[in-house]
Structure 1
Amino acid sequence: MKSHGSRDKLQATASSSQRRVLLLVFVSCFALATFLTFIYNTYHFASASASASASASVSASGSAASAGAGSVLPLPVFDALVHYASTSNATHRMTDTDIRAISAVLRDRGPGNLLVFGLGAESPLWLALNHGGRTVFLDENEFYVKYLEPRHPGLEAYDVSYTTKVRDFHDLVDAARASRAAECRPVQNLLFSECRLAINDLPNELYDVAWDIILIDGPSGWNPTSPGRMPSIFTTAVLARTGATAAKGPTDVLVHDFQFEVEQVLSKEFLCDENRVAGSGTPSLAHFVIRGGGPRDAFCSGQDSTAATSRTPQDKTGK
């Protein structure tokens, strides 16, 4: 009896061991299958995500390209904006002829990079007419900049701290002439300029923009203590001859309020009569086309660094 019982125990033990082995094999196979499934799904999920991202990028690029291609303002819309702006009753606005003359240049050259010195009643018009390009405004009045920006979405404006005075403009021009081969030279990096007429405190990236058109309609020159447009005209003359602006080709420069002495003297000195577009503009608007490069010590042909400015007084009232 004892022998028979021992045999039964051995058989039970062997059967239990087989079940453990089978269970272990099953668990191992299940774990391996789960692991392989995880690897497979991870790989295909990553591939699908990458494909989707690539498709989205291509789609976005295509959309952006389509948007860019159709971003030019339609001519009837352009003309309608000019018409209503030139016939408006807004106070302190430009004359009809000035608005149309500036708009004609924007139509010919735009959309592009437009730099405007001064904020005024026409600022939303210039922004709209240059639709598809970049328009930047510079103004002496920090509060006016902050007032207009939220009221005109897309308007990019910066305030400028001018240190010049209209009453000093003759002395400033004489000093610039005397240092035309040094601090006030025609081709230079304005960021590091020590010329008293240079504007060197703008956001740095603005000096690297290739400006197609520059409109000078500021700062103010109402009275002897106003900053006057000496710095904006000089800075424009240097920008047009230097860096990215010079590299991209000629720059159209428009000087408003050209009937006044400061604008005439400074334009003659730095923008040059030989660069003025004949038959363009109006009595109160001058149009220049400035090309890059040129002599290192002269803005205009035949300039003499020892020449003195004319000191004929002229009334600035009404500007």
Structure 2
Amino acid sequence: MKSMGSRDKLAAASAASGHRRALYVVFAFATFLTFLYTTSHFTSAAMSGSGSAAGDSASSASATGGGGASVSDSGSTKLPLPVFDALVHYASISNATHRMPDTDIRAVSAVLRARAPCNLLVFGLGAESPLWLALNHGGRTVFLEENEFYVKYLEPRHQGLEAYDVSYTTKVRDFRDLLAAARAARAKECRPVQNLLFSECRLAINDLPNDLYDVAWDMVLIDGPSGWNPNSPGRMPSIFTTAVLARSGATAAKGPTDVLVHDFQFEVEQVLSKEFLCDENRVAGSGTPSLGHFVIPGGGGRSDAFCSAQEEGSSESGEKTRRRK
């Protein structure tokens, strides 16, 4: 169906010791820089006394209101730009195998810079996972991974890495049948606004920890599951589930959601993104040929259409039905 993408190559080489060493290096560097910043921040605060505390409160309020990003419950603020840029720089020049191209790393980082600290949901664990975690310092970053081995291996070794394994039932070879079924049930089981916990749509992911469905996600990066052969699960469920999350519940209520789809040059990613994330929501001049960037407006939407073209189609279908009557 399609050639092997960066995330898919990682799944095919799970035992590669070189990859693990590279991941350790990137995460260790990210942790070191974050430690330096945190230590410096608290040392300065302790020396400056109550006047500094008032200034910190004003700075925190400014960060929350000016950038549109939500600050986590811990009250942490953005990473300083020099630290942020250093992390991106060293990740982009890394010789680690099975990683994103430099241009994609920088494109994802640019969106994350605007939103962090925020609630970030990432489909797939990979070479860049420690980078996304570090860049979203002060926010919540959750990874959803098809390979239970990665979750069990990486999470205990990296403090703050929150990851859950997901069992997918779809296959790339069936993606057109699955898409046709979702279209037919767009006003019912596969509707855009719904509670995914109780969804019966075949593309819906409804077995995550319950609290994840109540999180107001600011940004979603779709870099999994694998889709490099007909028997791979493909990214149909992750794209559909993201589209519903962005239009439902807490995520829709808080405002627009940035959605990034990696390996966008492939058929499944393009077709499903067009169907559920919609061309009208794609950000012109953002992303790369292999990274699609969409912004889904907040406030929900029609219950029977993801995109405006589908709304027109639904209206025409309803008009024909009324005329026959």
Please tell me the TM-score bracket, short chain as reference.
0.7 to 0.9
Residue identity matched to 1:300? C
Q: Aligned runs of 1:205-284 on 2, under 5 Å?
A: 205-284=211-290
Residue 122 of structure 2 aligns with which residue?
116
Residue 304 of structure 2 aligns with which residue?
297
Q: 1:100 aligns with which of 94, 99, 106?
A: 106
Residue 26 of structure 1 aligns with which residue?
none
Residue 84 of structure 1 aligns with which residue?
90
Residue identity matched to 1:263? E
Give deviations 1:36-95, integer Å, cap 9, x for gaps. xxxxxxxxxxxxxxxxxxxxxxxxxx8x98995554211100000000000000010000
Any gaps of 5 or more consecutive residues in structure 1?
1-61, 306-319
Residue identity matched to 2:254? K
Residue identity matched to 1:90? A
Q: Aligned runs of 1:1-319 on 2, under 5 Å?
A: 68-69=74-75, 71-292=77-298, 293-303=300-310, 304=313
**TM-score calculated relative to the size of structure 1:** 0.74
Residue identity matched to 1:178? A
Separation in 1, partners of 2:143, 2:75: 25
Give deviations 1:233-286, integer Å, cap 9, x for gaps. 000000000000000000000000000000000000000000000000000001
Give the SS at the match of 2:309.
coil
Residue identity matched to 1:129? L
Residue identity matched to 1:208? D
Separation in 2, partners of 1:301, 1:173: 18
Separation in 2, partners of 1:119, 1:199: 17
Residue identity matched to 1:115? L
Larger Rg: 1
Residue identity matched to 2:309? G
Is 2:75–2:138's contact at 8 Å kept on the other side of the alignment? no
Any gaps of 5 or more consecutive residues in structure 2?
1-52, 61-72, 315-325
Residue identity matched to 1:136? V
Give deviations 1:271-312, integer Å, cap 9, x for gaps. 00000000000000010000131111100012247xxxxxxx
Residue identity matched to 2:201? C
Residue identity matched to 2:304? D
- Count of residues in Structure 1 that have an aligned counterpart in Structure 2: 245
Return the offset for 1:152. 1.3
Residue identity matched to 2:308? S
State the identity %: 86
Tell which has more relative contact order, 1 or 2 (C-alpha 8 A, sep 6+).
2
Q: Do the aligned partners of residues 132 and 274 (structure 1) sit closer, same or farther apart at CA in structure 2, a change above 3 Å counting?
A: same
Give deviations 1:167-189, integer Å, cap 9, x for gaps. 00000000000000000000000
Separation in 2, partners of 1:71, 1:151: 25
More off after superposition, 272-281 vs 69-78? 69-78
Give the SS at the match of 1:302.
helix
Separation in 1, partners of 2:160, 2:75: 19
Return the offset for 1:104. 0.2
Separation in 2, partners of 1:130, 1:102: 12
- Runs ≥4 residues deviating over 6 A: 64-67
Separation in 1, partners of 2:232, 2:128: 21
Return the offset for 1:128. 0.1
More off after superposition, 145-154 vs 245-254? 145-154
RMSD over aligned CA atoms reads: 1.9
Residue identity matched to 1:173? L
Give the SS at the match of 2:234.
coil
